[in-house]
Structure 1
Amino acid sequence: MNRYFLIALLSCMLTSCWTWQPKELILPPTASFTIANNNCTLGCVVTFNSNAPTATSLKWEFGDGGTSTEANPTRQYTTAGNFTVRLTATNQAGSNSTTQTVTVNNPAAPVPNFTIANGDCVAPCEVVFTNTTTGGATGFQWNFGDGIGTSTQQNPRYTYQTGGTYSVTLTATGQGGANSIVLPVTIRSAPPVVAFTLNNNNCVAPCEVAFTNTTTGSVTSYQWNFGDGIGTSTQQNPRYTYQTGGTYSVTLTATGPGGSRSTAQSVTIRAAPPVATFTLGNDNCNAPCTVNFTNTSRNATSFRWDFGNGITSSEQNPSIQFSTAGNYTVQLTASGANGTNTTTQTVRTVVPRWRSVATFPGVPRSDVGIFVLNNRAYVIGGVLGADRFSNEVWEYDGNGNQWNQKRSISASGAYGVGFTNNNTGYIIGHTTDLGNGSSLVHTYNPGSDSWTNRIESSLQNRPFCQACAVNGKAYLGVGFNQTTLVEYDLNTTSATTIPVPAALNSVGGGIRFPINGRCFIGGGFTIINNQVSIKTQAFEFDPGTRQFLQRGDVPENTLASPVGPRSFFLNVENGQLYLYQNGQFSTVETGNKPSFNRGGIFLFSIGNTLYYGGGYNFSNSSLPRFTDIWAINLN
């Protein structure tokens, strides 16, 4: 029972109030409410619904300083947190309050993202960025990664000037904070734009041209080709000297991250006028002699020589023989694209002279065998007088002008014919019986100073034969009794006979020497019915084809010896010298003629020097033999 009702009843009984009428009882309100959208995110609107039907007034306290008297108010919180909401309900009977908590959360930070359009373009190029950020961003900051570009636009565009891979950063900011994302964008570099200028074009060679590189773009290296087949460079701004005139295509290739490009220009170099110059070798030589001309002209494409002796040439570096002594004005005219030029020099040739050299130290003799080995002459045996022969061997050293006695040959004799092969000396026909000849082949080793000999049956019955060695084979002459040559292999000692022309049948003596890979065969004599017949016909025998090529007649009473690349013949009666060349004979003037009219002389050559000496007097062979030795330089 309500306590207020009991108080009223008791009061009436005490006052004798027997007539009782009850009054309406008013009770204090009960405060309660519900909340819609509790535990929401900052910025949300919270709705409150009261449940206090007996209240005559309501008061709301929202916990953030705000209040309301509405029955069902709404509230938007401006800060995040936990807020205690109080509702107080009031009527005439009193008041009643209740509380609840509202939770307002801070919002999450934005989630940034974007897409890229026109990436992988060639610089300079524009890239479009589309912002796809979520989460309520309120602001954006872009950094385009090249150290230059930024933006605060939502969807910016940006132009990259150079190639590379750039890290693009988007930062999105909202109520809940800021987040960033980084994405790469690749911009391809453009190949360089290649260009250059040149200075001193159209100059006269030799001249230097300067090249200025005006290439633009990203470049890591340069390669120049100056177009003359010689010059290149990797410098940025090279200089190059052109030696000759012409039009040259100059190419510059520039390479960078975007690739390589090239460009070319023509440079014109004017040819310089020709300058005719030459040098000459072997000047002041003993005629006949060959002079070598070395052309040192510049800027010339053709030449004309006039040697002052009736000979002309268009060769660049000719070699010309001057047959007689004299002073010759040699003229060279050089022609080129820019004119002609002429120069002259004088060639002096002198008459060679015989000079006396070291006297033969042995017993005077004639009809010796001779060969020349390693620039030394070896004199073998010889006739000392009537029925007297020698087996001595003497070596003549032309450099030291001295004679040295060497080991003697195995037997005395004379009339030997010498030749050499593979650092070995050979003597055939060394005999004391000229009428029968000899079948022995004697070989000499200069290193050990020793002789060996062997019988060669093919030499039998070939008295007074001659010999010539070419390419490892000896070609042994006919002699008085035969009609064939003997091809004798000096390595295998095998022998083959070769028929000779009729003019060489049974010819003894004569002349044999190698010339240009052939054997010269000529001169000599035959003895038929005790009648001596002098032969003058000459041939060159070609071992390759085994052909006999007829040449001009041999001058009478001559002996021959090669001197360097040429061959000279000496008339032993009067000392006249002849040059054999191209199959013909020509006389050679000498400044003097020492004692000649001799038979059985020594005749040999060392280098370009011809030697003769010894022998007997043609007019009286019983007189003592000679020991004097003479030399003439035939360079």
Structure 2
Amino acid sequence: MKHKFTLLLVTTLCLSTFFYSISFTNSGGPAAGKTGAPGDGLCTDCHSGTANTGLGIVSLSVKDAGNPVTEYTPGKQYTVTATVTESGRSKFGFQMVTFLNSNNTMAGSWTLTELTRTQTKTSGSKIYVEHTSTGNAQTSAGTNTWSADWTAPVSGSGTVKIYAAFNATNSSGSTSGDNIYTTNFTLTEEIPVTPPVAAFSVSGTDICLNGSISFTNLSTDATSYLWDFGDGTTSTEVSPSHTYSTSGLFTVTLTATGDGGTDSETKNNLITVQPAISATAGSNTSICTGSSVTLNVSVSGGNGGPYTYSWTPSTGLSATNTANPNASPSATTTYMVYVSDGCSPMVSDDVTVTVTPPITASATANPTIICQGMSASLSANATGGSGGAFTYSWVASSGSVDNPLLPLTSTSPLFTTTYIVYVSDGGCSPTATANVVVSVNPPLTVIAGTNVSLCEGEITNLSASVTGGNGGPYSYSWVPSVGLNSNTIQNPIAAPSVTTNYSLFVSDGCSQPGSDDVTVTVNNFPTAPLVNCGATTLSSIEYVWNPSIGADGYEISFDGGTVWKNVGNTFVYDTTGLSPGETLSLMVRGISFGLCSPGIASTKTCSAINCAPLSVIVSSDTTVCKNSTVEIGVLSVTGGTGNYFFNWSDSLGTTQGPYTINIFQPTAFTVSVGDSGAITCGTLENKISIGVYPNQAGFTYSMTGDTILFNPDNTFGSSFVWNFGDGNVDSSLSTIAHVYDTNGVYNVCVQSVTPAGCVEEFCDSVEFVKVGIAKSYTNNDVHFKLIPNPGKEQFQLQLSCCGNVTPNEIQVFNLQGQEVLHIKPQRDGKFTLGNLMQGLYFLKIKYDHNNVNLEDWMPVMVQE
């Protein structure tokens, strides 16, 4: 097979450039470089017109020994033929050149074969082939053909292109009217190929059966492979591995195929495959129970060893990995031996060791379960062994056996006992044993059940349980039978009228009878109470009842027993809010903290008294000023018989009124109105409330310099009158500023009139202290004293009164009303004013007086 590199031969046919002047007298060919190839000119450089617009046909062909080719072999010679055809034309010219397609340089060399019709011209390193003056004439009508030999370039040149230009002249001797044509032809380089060489090697030649051989492919110039392993199998892998499953000698052949053809390599009898292993475990054999035998395996083939062995099962073998283990199976066993040589396939064979069966003994008892004092028959049976006569020997875990050396005997154990029989046959078989258990029933255990408490009239199931004995069926007998639905069943229904103790007796027909007791306690419900009507009024009924036996409290119902109300352990119940003559029925029943509750209910119907109601109108509620008078009384009474009587609270009187009363604080009066003609109908109570307008009089004050500012508390007052305690008075609705002439404590009073017309007055002590004078004063019943005053840094505030007084905090203000210090005094009233500048300051003192938070003002003079 050949590898090809493209050789591009570009042929340009120039129809007019070959001739500077084509005429019958001057037709020696064009100048070099007019093929239209890259870097060349074109015939149209001299001849007018456009190339390839005529009706002519041009072509290039490359032949090797007359055969057309499209590829070239480096250094080989080929014939290149250029042809132009155009009807009506008889004179033609041409020029052609070969360029390497990669760089447009000259490719190969030319050899002229038509010396009179063709010639060469050179332009630089490029050689052109063109017509001569004698090669113009047509070689046939309307056609001219030229040929030259071309020698291909050296290997690796790549694609070559032949460019050619043609001129089909009109024979006018001028440069116009000619038709110019161009064409090109491409040749690719043919790369020679090397034929393949088949070769291989192997990883080994001597293997075991089912062994694997790795083949290494050493072939060259091949693209596909076929392996024949000599055992009827093939592979197309490059370097395969192959497993031989039969033994013998095998010839291996590798066939390699490439572009250059096919080659094979054969290695005769290359692979030797060893034969399979043959193993025989030996002949079957027999042994007695407890005996042993040596097993022998015979092995041949494979790679000749050493061989490895594996016996299975391992039971009874002295070893499992030797050729000749000792076998001591307890039962007939088939042993399988597996043999391998580490290379060949593993093989196996088996051998059976038959073991004389051991004696098998069994024992039975009839019956297997007995009651105390009864007997059971023991029986033994044996099979297997060497076939000789069996001998027996009985042994009991406790107690004794009547005939211990016989296969059949009897026993009477007092409790459950296990019996063992030993059986032998006098041969090689070991003694066999068998067990049988004779169970002795335990005594009967009877539980009559848990004691039960129930209420009179109720029933209960007695729940007895029985264990032991022979498991039943049991027979039952309850004593006494009073209150039972049956006294011969396990769990009868009991409904005694009084507390009863029942005894249960149980037997099973075999064991000693058993018994147990259970008590059924009967509790009573509370008895029905006797209900009567008590005192009644127009709107109420009183019910009374006698105590109920067994009751811890009582419930009542007014709706026939649908809803019950617990009234506690009382014997009286009042109903109120009734209409005169209204009738009610009351049910009463006792309840108990015990199981039996509630008791039987009793019903009583009672009626309220039928009286004509009274209608009473009294003075309306009102609010008055403090220390003023008000008039109250019964304004009207209607209904009843007209024989009315009155009873006022606070011993105010027994008449209808009115009464004039001086009011100092909020008060309420009650008047009871009744009808003496219907005394049992009760009385009506009416209440009159009298409120007192609160005292809103009061004031606060503050000192600025020598001036005290007073502010009234009652901002709703219609008028104010101030008395400053120094003989001066004033009236104003706004802040009052007053200056005292001398230091002292003044009784300041303010009187105001409320919107309700109440005149109120409030008085308080005000202490006036000018700068430099230490004073003490009293306010809110608290006496204040500041020591020293004037003073420097350390001060002590003393407060005294009728109760506990404790200073909390002190705020210090300057004359401009600005707070300059906030301190908390010690419990003894001592405090420090720090680095205050000299001058007058006011202390706002906050203190507790009998757990009430209060505050007052006091001046202080600070010295340097």
TM-score range, shorter chain: under 0.3
Larger RCO: Structure 1 or Structure 2 (Cα < 8 Å, ≥ 6 residues apart)? Answer: 1
TM-score by length of 2: 0.20
Q: Report the TM-score, using the length of structure 1 for normalisation.
A: 0.26
Larger radius of gyration: 2
